[in-house]
């Protein structure tokens, strides 16, 4: 005679029945550190390239007689935003390597980092494009970031969805600042 297998845990072992778990299994939480270190390294490099090009261009124009156009010379304030993104990325990378910080806390910091990155990307891309062309860009890197985070960093679906919605809302709030937003966003 075959023995029946129960797939539902008794109430004392995994929480109350009917409630979803908001925690990851420990083997996935162990991967959060390495994956968050990968993401922060990628974004530190991405924001650092623009900063490096700006500084290199400034150095070349200071040494030679070449002058920059007015709009290129005026975006120094945006480079401070790039610098803050690089510092935040390197700081979170350091925190991910520190084993005194729990993986659960790192996951929460990673979700906040996603929201902050999307906000910074929206500020940079919308402001620079709008100042040049007086319209909003059709596409930014923010959707790619929103898609990339759940693919690389594991997490409970509800938590990842909440972070993605908050990141998209941050982008939308920046877009509404501009007069041409009513044309594109409804």
Could you give the CA distance from residue 50 to residue 71 in angstroms, rounded to a whole number?
Answer: 16
Could you give the CA distance from residue 169 to residue 77 in angstroms, rounded to a whole number?
Answer: 24
pTM over 0.95: no
Mean pLDDT of all residues in 153-162 = 90
Mean pLDDT of all residues in 14-30 = 59
Asked if residue 16 has pLDDT above 50, the reply is no
Q: How distant, in Å, are the alpha carbons of 37, 68, 70, 126, 131 from that of 74?
A: 33, 10, 6, 16, 11
Confidence (pLDDT) at 146: 95
Confidence (pLDDT) at 54: 87
Among 19-28, 69-78, 141-150, where is mean pLDDT lowest? 19-28
DSSP letters along 52-96, please? HHHHHHHHHHHHSS----HHHHTTHHHHHHHHHHHHHHHHHHHHH
Query: Which residue in this structure is represented by tokens 């990141």?
Result: 167
5, 8, 9, 14: CA torsion to nearest 10: 150
pLDDT range class, residue 185, cuts 50, 70, 90: very low
pLDDT in tens, 46-74: 999 989 988 888 888 889 888 777 666 66
Range with top average pLDDT, 20-29, 57-66, 163-172, 175-184: 163-172
Could you give the CA distance from residue 30 to residue 35 in angstroms, rounded to a whole number?
Answer: 9
Please enumerate in sequence order all residues whose Cβ is within 8 A of that of 88, keeping only pairs 6 or more positions apart, or say none.
113, 116
């Amino acid at each position: 005679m075959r023995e029946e297998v129960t797939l539902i845990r008794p109430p004392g072992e995994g929480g109350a029945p009917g409630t979803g778990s908001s925690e990851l299994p420990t083997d996935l939480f162990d991967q959060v550190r390495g994956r968050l270190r990968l993401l922060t390294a990628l974004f530190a490099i991405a924001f650092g390239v623009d900063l490096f090009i700006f500084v290199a261009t400034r150095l070349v124009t200071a040494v030679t007689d070449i002058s920059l156009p007015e709009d290129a010379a005026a975006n120094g304030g945006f480079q401070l935003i790039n610098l803050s993104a690089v510092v935040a990325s390197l700081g979170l990378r350091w925190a991910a390597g520190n084993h005194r910080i729990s993986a659960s806390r790192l996951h929460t910091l990673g979700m906040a980092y996603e929201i902050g990155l999307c906000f910074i990307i929206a500020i940079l891309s919308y402001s620079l494009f709008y100042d040049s062309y007086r319209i909003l860009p059709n596409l930014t890197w923010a959707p790619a970031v929103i898609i990339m985070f759940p693919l690389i960093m594991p997490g409970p679906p509800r938590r990842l969805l909440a972070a993605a919605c908050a990141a998209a809302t941050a982008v939308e709030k920046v877009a509404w600042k501009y007069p041409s937003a009513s044309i594109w966003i409804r």
